[in-house]
Amino acid sequence: METALNIHIKGVVQGVGFRPFIYRLASGAGIKGWVKNTNEGVDIFAQANRDELNAFLHQIKVNHPVAAIINTIHAMPSALADVPCFSIISSENRSLEVTGISPDIAVCDACLADMEEQPNRKHYPFVNCTNCGPRFSIIRDLPYDRETTSMSVFPMCKSCKGEYDHMLDRRFHAQPVACLDCGPGYQLSIGKKLVDGTIDQLLIIVSDLLSKGKIIAMKGIGGYHLACDASNEKAVKTLRRRKKRDAKPFAVMFRDIPSLKGYAHISDFEQHALESWRRPIVIVKKRGRTKEPALSPSISSGLNTVGAFLPSMPLHYLLFRIFPLPAIVLTSGNLSANPIVKDDDAAREQLVPIADAVLSYNREIIHRTDDSVVRIMNSKEHLIRRSRGYAPTPLHLSLKTDGILAFGAELSSCFGIGKGENAILSQYIGDLKTLDTYLYYEKEMTDFLHLFRMKPELLVCDMHPDYFSSKQALSFPGLPLIRVQHHHAHIASCMAEHGLDEKVIGVAFDGTGLGTDEKIWGGEFMVCDLSDFKRILHFDYISLPGGDRAVEEPWRTAIAYLYHVFGRDFHQLPLPFLKAVGNNRILPILKMIDLGINCPMVSSVGRLFDAVAAIINLCLESTFQAEGPMRLESIAANNCNNSYPFRIEKTIGVDETIRGVVDDVLKGVDSTLISAKFHNTIISIIVDSVMLAAQKEKLNKVVLSGGVFQNKYLTENIHMALKRSGMKVYSQEKVPANDGGIALGQLIIAAKRRTSACV
Ligand code: ZN
Ligand code: ZN
Ligand code: FE
């Protein structure tokens, strides 16, 4: 007997081949009815016998297109209708289709096969279908149609149009559909010379140049990359020099998983992330002994990890067919601190001096997207940079967010807008102190407001008045503005991700953030909910001689700690790093501290890591963000359970910790053990502090956030220790624990305060 269901599906189900999938599934099973897009997702009317409908629902859940995300699926019985077959019907109000922007999707296997077999797509590097290809990076406006993308200048040929119009075709309504006859193409320029040829001819030249140690700028999905042979130390060093990037690790693209396994230890979770359609860079542990040819040591600058990723564009696959080696460096095409170059003119201006050749294509990139970066901790994916493949996927929240615009922080910045019960976060933007990055932030914000048809009603920014993001908030005069404390935003961001709307213990450890006492925080324990927080414990303040200068020169923070712990006697300590710094640099620092000149007081754990990295002579100057802490983590021994003493009273004191580190250095204890002992100390401090708070406040949920928790050793061990003590522990996964997650925290805090005010 026939029955009927009305099925409502919410989530990311538009622009990802969802309706054709439903159509094929239903027609194949003889189900009658229809499917259509709505402003919130997809509606289906399905009529068949009960078993078929149950199987249909099951198939939707388990076999949906890879890039689709189903948040909720509701099926309600419905009256039977007189429908002859199954069809896709057009949407009632397309102007409201605003939640449907899919991120860019790596090329799928079926398209890779087409690239071998279809005559009009033979080695065609822009092959795509409803399951794969560019999305966000080419969208100019909504509704998502070819005319509103940068594909608009490429009229479809007859054959592509046929596929586009045919409901059962894999390219049905695939907006970027293209082939050799009608789509975009690549071109290569070497110096001022433009080289013409088929893609294979161009790639033979590119491969040859790479093999000779040359640097190639290659236009990717979301911006230009710079590439060189990953086994050629000279080429990598040249790239560093020309890019003005001292030591920040470069990402490496490997031919495939077997090649990568010759160079790094890959867990199943890491492999899963690497192969996902989002194709992020995954931070993996290098092997001690690797396959030949070895990776250039300059890639990771002494860290024990490498940022690895797999081919995601058809071009990458074509290149590895010709290029004989297993890996290429593929780093973002920019001068350090500037945003990734996306326009061809800018590439000529900024990248020609760096690259020996430029491989470009004639389709415009509308939205920049850097490569995303993830790290697997506790067998779960944790985003460190959220961009290609992830943005602008909405994050589903438990509160209404309409009209809220969150400006984010300043470093690793990202803003967010509220829509329905979602947060739509921008892609990773970067350090707003660089003018071009700030302009990018401003432009992308304008674009998001337009794309998502968002009219700001409530603004929320960081408490820090000097952040460029906070200043940007002032450019929307007349709207109410909430200023949120930085570390409260960190914790709220993690709570938002996990749907927590209650009192929790928050542990926010990072580099810097302005506190309510005008001092710089970064080692904070708080009891908080989504609307407010109470700081219950923090690390002792220490002078940061020179402020931002000390962030770049961790030896300064080390001096501040030694001076504080040992008094002037620290001069007598025969520490190698003191010798390396020299008295002529140390004495002025002591004067600064004595007189309190340009010495902000900080409680930051990031800076404490810096200080220890300097005291053990591991990192005196920081050439990239968090270099000291990263180096410290990188060397930590795995089999050490010892730790240093510390004090928890009204505040947390680490004088004895610093003494312990110094003693060990003087005794000649191996740095790998000192690092492990220091990490273990931080873990003990967290566990002891959390357990004190848990008893006092009768709470059992702990929320960890802030850049310090990108540290795998720390995060995994804290989870283990706190769980053993009966606590429930939450970390950031979908948004970064660094300042890239601040906008989400601001957004949820504003949403919560707005609802409370209404009650
Ligand atoms: Zn495809
Ligand atoms: Zn075509
Ligand atoms: Fe922060």
Q: What is the CATH number of the domain that holds 743?
A: 3.30.420.360
Strand bridging mode 264-265 / 251-254: unpaired
pLDDT digits (tens, 9 = 90+) for 439-452: 999 999 999 999 99
Give the ligand with the smallest distance to the CA of 115.
1
Give the ligand with the smallest distance to the CA of 164.
2
My answer on whether 740 and 715 are in the same domain is no
433 is in which domain, residue-wise? Answer: 386-502+736-758
pLDDT of 93:
52
Rounded to the nearest angstrom, the distance between the alpha carbon of 117 and the centre of ligand 2 is: 15
Kindly report the average pLDDT of the chain as a whole number: 95
Give the ligand with the smallest distance to the CA of 313.
1
Rounded to the nearest angstrom, the distance between the alpha carbon of 17 and the centre of ligand 2 is: 19
Rounded to the nearest angstrom, the distance between the alpha carbon of 2 and the centre of ligand 3 is: 57
My answer on whether 586 and 723 are in the same domain is yes
- Three-state SS sequence of 421-437: CEEEECCCCECCCCHHH
Question: Looking at the predicted structure, is the pLDDT value of residue 372 above 90?
Answer: yes
Rounded to the nearest angstrom, the distance between the alpha carbon of 601 and the centre of ligand 2 is: 63
Task: Specify the DSSP class assigned to residue 668.
Answer: T
Q: Which of 123, 104, 140 is nearest to 16 (CA)?
A: 104
Rounded to the nearest angstrom, the distance between the alpha carbon of 346 and the centre of ligand 2 is: 29
Give the separation between CA 589 and CA 611, rounded to whole angstroms.
Answer: 14
Query: Are residues 352 and 358 in contact, defined by beta-carbon separation less than 8 angstroms?
Result: yes
pLDDT digits (tens, 9 = 90+) for 279-300: 999 999 999 888 889 999 999 9
* Residue 526 included in any domain: no
Task: Specify the DSSP class assigned to residue 32.
Answer: E
Rounded to the nearest angstrom, the distance between the alpha carbon of 182 and the centre of ligand 2 is: 4
| Helix, strand, coil shares, percent, the chain, to 5 | 40, 20, 40
Question: Looking at the predicted structure, is the pLDDT value of residue 430 above 60?
Answer: yes
Rounded to the nearest angstrom, the distance between the alpha carbon of 127 and the centre of ligand 1 is: 7
* Residue 357 included in any domain: yes
Query: Are residues 407 and 459 in contact, defined by beta-carbon separation less than 8 angstroms?
Result: yes
570-589 mean pLDDT = 96
Give the ligand with the smallest distance to the CA of 178.
2
Rounded to the nearest angstrom, the distance between the alpha carbon of 178 and the centre of ligand 2 is: 5
Q: What is the CATH number of the domain that holds 16?
A: 3.30.70.100
My answer on whether 245 and 335 are in the same domain is yes
Q: Which residues contact 184 (CB under 8 A, 6 or more apart)?
A: 126, 151, 154, 178, 361, 362, 363
Query: Are residues 44 and 19 in contact, defined by beta-carbon separation less than 8 angstroms?
Result: no
pLDDT of 284:
98
Question: Looking at the predicted structure, is the pLDDT value of residue 53 above 70?
Answer: yes
Rounded to the nearest angstrom, the distance between the alpha carbon of 463 and the centre of ligand 3 is: 12
My answer on whether 650 and 707 are in the same domain is yes
pLDDT of 94:
47
Q: Which of 532, 505, 515 is nearest to 745 (CA)?
A: 532
My answer on whether 240 and 312 are in the same domain is yes
Q: What is the CATH number of the domain that holds 291?
A: 3.90.870.10
Q: Which of 84, 73, 76 is nearest to 3 (CA)?
A: 76
Rounded to the nearest angstrom, the distance between the alpha carbon of 127 and the centre of ligand 2 is: 10
Whether the ω angle into residue 293 lies within 30 degrees of 0, i.e. cis, is: yes
Rounded to the nearest angstrom, the distance between the alpha carbon of 168 and the centre of ligand 1 is: 14
Q: Choose one of 57, 88, 119: the last residue of a domain.
A: 88
Q: Choose one of 66, 88, 110: the last residue of a domain.
A: 88
Give the ligand with the smallest distance to the CA of 160.
2
My answer on whether 196 and 324 are in the same domain is yes
Give the ligand with the smallest distance to the CA of 705.
3
Task: Specify the DSSP class assigned to residue 370.
Answer: P
Give the pLDDT band (50/70/90) at residue 758.
low
* Residue 379 included in any domain: no
Give the pLDDT band (50/70/90) at residue 12.
confident
pLDDT digits (tens, 9 = 90+) for 602-655: 999 999 999 999 999 999 999 999 999 999 999 999 999 999 999 999 999 999
Give the pLDDT band (50/70/90) at residue 98.
low
Rounded to the nearest angstrom, the distance between the alpha carbon of 116 and the centre of ligand 2 is: 16
519-545 mean pLDDT = 98
Q: Pull the structure tokens for residue 189.
A: 């320029």
Q: What is the CATH number of the domain that holds 690?
A: 3.30.420.40
562-582 mean pLDDT = 96
Give the pLDDT band (50/70/90) at residue 696.
very high
Q: Pull the structure tokens for residue 367.
A: 């939205």
Rounded to the nearest angstrom, the distance between the alpha carbon of 140 and the centre of ligand 2 is: 22
Residues with CB under 5 A from ligand 3 (ion): 510, 513, 739
* Residue 697 included in any domain: yes
My answer on whether 257 and 339 are in the same domain is yes
Question: Looking at the predicted structure, is the pLDDT value of residue 487 above 90?
Answer: yes
Strand bridging mode 32-37 / 41-49: antiparallel
Q: Pull the structure tokens for residue 15.
A: 């622009």
* Residue 13 included in any domain: yes
412-438 mean pLDDT = 95
* Residue 530 included in any domain: no
My answer on whether 163 and 272 are in the same domain is no
* Residue 693 included in any domain: yes
Q: Choose one of 164, 184, 204: the last residue of a domain.
A: 184
My answer on whether 142 and 196 are in the same domain is no
My answer on whether 171 and 197 are in the same domain is no
* Residue 508 included in any domain: no
Rounded to the nearest angstrom, the distance between the alpha carbon of 297 and the centre of ligand 3 is: 31
pLDDT of 445:
98
Interhelix angle 605-615/627-635, rounded to 10 degrees, is 60
Helix (H, G, I), strand (E, B) or coil at 24: helix
β-partners of residue 380 are: 377
733-755 mean pLDDT = 98
Rounded to the nearest angstrom, the distance between the alpha carbon of 534 and the centre of ligand 2 is: 61
Query: Are residues 278 and 374 in contact, defined by beta-carbon separation less than 8 angstroms?
Result: no
Rounded to the nearest angstrom, the distance between the alpha carbon of 157 and the centre of ligand 2 is: 4
Rounded to the nearest angstrom, the distance between the alpha carbon of 241 and the centre of ligand 3 is: 30
My answer on whether 719 and 634 are in the same domain is yes
Rounded to the nearest angstrom, the distance between the alpha carbon of 171 and the centre of ligand 2 is: 11
Give the separation between CA 711 and CA 629, rounded to whole angstroms.
Answer: 8
Give the pLDDT band (50/70/90) at residue 759.
very low
pLDDT of 96:
47
Token look-up 């110096």 returns 191
Query: Are residues 522 and 607 in contact, defined by beta-carbon separation less than 8 angstroms?
Result: yes
- Output the pTM of the full model: 0.95
Q: Which of 116, 135, 134, 138 is nearest to 126 (CA)?
A: 134
Q: Which of 633, 641, 614 is nearest to 707 (CA)?
A: 633
Query: Are residues 142 and 148 in contact, defined by beta-carbon separation less than 8 angstroms?
Result: yes
Q: What is the CATH number of the domain that holds 112?
A: 3.90.870.30
My answer on whether 630 and 696 are in the same domain is yes
Q: What percent of the chain has pLDDT above 70? A: 98
- How many separate domains does the chain show? 5
Rounded to the nearest angstrom, the distance between the alpha carbon of 170 and the centre of ligand 1 is: 8
Interhelix angle 712-724/627-635, rounded to 10 degrees, is 70
pLDDT of 97:
43
Helix H or strand E encompassing 616: none
Residues with CB under 5 A from ligand 2 (ion): 157, 160, 179, 181-182
